[in-house]
Amino acid sequence: MVSATSRITISFALLALIVTAGVLGVMVTEGLSWIDAVYFVVVTIATVGYGDIAPATGAGRLVAVLLIVAGVGTFVSVFATVVESLVSQNERQARIRKINMILGIFYSEAGTEILTAFARLDPDAEDIREQLAVRGDSDTEDFRRIRQCLAGHRYAVDGSAADLAGLAQLLEGKKEFLLRLMENPAIFEHDAFTDLLHAVFHLREELMLRDDLATLPEADRAHLTGDISRAYRLLALEWLGYLRHLQTTYPYLFSLAVRRNPFDDRASPTVR
């Protein structure tokens, strides 16, 4: 599918070609100066038609007919494509704002708490804690570095130390909230967030289907550990994008989110 930018570029290029050909054609057939030829071509294509300059020769009239047939349609196409692009851009920005609002609600009500629980099961969290310190003055380079750190992290949670019953209780307590999020059609325009919700729901279902989480065989515990790691990674990467959005849009929400950093075991909402 051709993008709106490409369609605008193609339409403008075609219009410029038609105008240039029309100007040259009128100059040759009607003997007009270049400025009069440009004027005639523009008023013809724009359908203004003042009538102060009219072709006097058969060849000139043929050029005028071709300009009307080809030029008017192209001119209208350029105008329509520009308007469509502006409308689409506004709609896209509105969708992005809506998705970011949903992300904010998710991390405020559930995501941060779940991510904190996952990070506590991560034996390597201490090694990356300093690298994941987001500050109020963190810039684009800082966020790029943090994303690289998160993208390269193993997310190998310690299944043997996992309080699976506590994790199951936490996820079950968020079930109704997460279900309401899934009912919002806006989330399906954000594939990463949709994958994240599916991973969290799958983990909750796996945990709830076990009769006794305390006496699981080693293979089953390893399976659940893999499910935790999957959800953990998706949560962490999406969390960073959420923080970046808050910093540029809602600094006061960003301040609270930083003070609740899931990877900081000393994090506290209390301002110190």
Q: What is the pTM of this model?
A: 0.70
CB-based contacts of 35, cutoff 8 Å, min separation 6: none
pLDDT given for residue 77 in this prediction: 77
Mean pLDDT value of segment 159-175: 87
- What spatial distance separates the first Cα and last Cα of the chain, rounded to whole Å? 53
Cβ–Cβ under 8 Å, residues 265 and 244: no
81-85, 93-97, 120-124, 133-137: range with lowest mean pLDDT:
81-85
Assess whether pLDDT exceeds 70 at residue 2: no
Average pLDDT, the chain: 86
> Rounded distance, CA 125 to CA 155, Å?
9
The domains located in the chain, with CATH, are 4-90 (1.10.287.70), 95-259 (no CATH)
Share of the chain above pLDDT 70, in %: 98
> Rounded distance, CA 111 to CA 103, Å?
9
pLDDT given for residue 195 in this prediction: 94
